[in-house]
Structure 1
Amino acid sequence: MFKKSIALLVILLLVVGMLAGCGSQQSSNQNQNQQQQQQTQPKEKELVFAIGAEVPNLDAQKATDTYAIMVGNAVFEGLVRVYDGKVYPGMAEKWEVSEDKTTYTFHLRDAKWSDGSPVTAYDFEYAIKRLLDPNTASEYAFQGYYIVNGEEYNTGKITDPNQIGVKALDDKTLQIKLKVPTKYFESLLS
């Protein structure tokens, strides 16, 4: 009888152990599945960067360090995008270049700012003029020197920003006039 009791006790312990092991495995699998779902489901309007330093400035006209430029490129959309050295549409869905290669006319796609207001060609005109404004003191203002009167405005030779060769023709059309043809100009607009 004693041997039967021990055998039953051992069997009972094995069965309880197997059930407990299965339960914890199932619970562990459920936890892993939940974690995987949380990781694969995108969180709305959340962008996470793992960088080793603080981003000192996200002002597009004043950013100069690698981290700010990297984050800025991820959250701001230029007129064009550049991948592998090729230029693709960005905010501008299409554009024309004059025969003499000095006038660019960009046609913007429909887009909205985070507050729901439409992005317009006037926003791009403002941004380019702000880049060249001497009061902005942008270290990269020289990138706008290709534009008619860009350098002259930035260096104070002229004071009227309306003389700069950038103009919104309407909400969806931006025109930029260059001093001379500049082969890589489009890539600067990313």
Structure 2
Amino acid sequence: MLKKLIALLLSMLIVAGILTGCSDTATKSSNELVFSITSEPPNMDPQLATDQYSIIVGNAVFEGLVRYYDGKIYPGMAEKWEVSEDKRVYTFYLRDAKWSDGSKVTAYDFEYSIKRLLDPKLASGYAYQAYYILNGEEYNTGKIKDPNQVGVKALDEKNTSNHT
């Protein structure tokens, strides 16, 4: 009985903590993000984060090409994309966005980020998530050394292409 009571109290505390982070009492500002988590995120590098706190905060502050929610894919940084007939080439068209320093977000940033994720020197715990990209696994495991053989290429500032 005591164990059930403690479990119920802990559950209520967790729910209260979550709801506190969602309350209207937080300052309403487009530059402020309020979280209620129990630990400081140990790593804010999106390619090295593997713990739940870093991933929760990272998902809130970093935007990928697309978003996955409720079993569907939605635009993220890519406002649209095209898939080749053979489903091997995906071309993403970026929306206009800026980094916090005011510089433009470009397709070159995404090319760099994906190749960095796969770089064996970085040793990212989640590099395997990009193995579907042409030569992604081969580059990450050292079978090929040239990152330019990885099937991701910025075509210009607004467009990037991924080959599977």
1:43 deviation in Å? 3.1
Distance 1:72 1:156 in 2: 28
Query: Structure 2: which 5+ residue stretches go unaligned?
Result: 1-23
Letter matched to residue 75 of structure 1: V
| Identical amino acids, percent of aligned pairs | 72
Distance 2:132 2:29 in 1: 41
Query: Structure 1: which 5+ residue stretches go unaligned?
Result: 1-37, 179-190
Give the structure with higher Rg (CA): 1
1:45 deviation in Å? 1.2
1:54 deviation in Å? 2.1
- Residue equivalent to 1:157: 143
| 1:60-79 alignment runs, 5 A limit | 60-79=46-65
Per-residue Cα deviation, 1:46-95 (whole angstroms, up to 9, x for no partner): 11211012211011101111111110010001101122111000100000
- Give the paired residue count: 141
| 1:86-101 alignment runs, 5 A limit | 86-101=72-87
1:144 deviation in Å? 1.0
Distance 1:177 1:70 in 2: 29
RMSD: 1.3
Distance 1:151 1:82 in 2: 23
Distance 1:40 1:150 in 2: 42
- Choose the corresponding residue for 1:135, options 103, 121, 125: 121
Distance 1:176 1:158 in 2: 18
Letter matched to residue 86 of structure 1: K
Q: SS of the counterpart of 2:49?
A: coil
- Is the 2:134–2:163 Cα contact (8 Å) retained in structure 1? yes
More helix by share: 1
> Which 4+ residue blocks in structure 1 deviate beyond 2 angstroms?
38-41
- Is the 2:26–2:34 Cα contact (8 Å) retained in structure 1? no
Letter matched to residue 171 of structure 1: E
- Residue equivalent to 2:134: 148
Distance 2:160 2:41 in 1: 31
Higher relative contact order (Cα pairs below 8 Å, separated by 6+ residues): 1
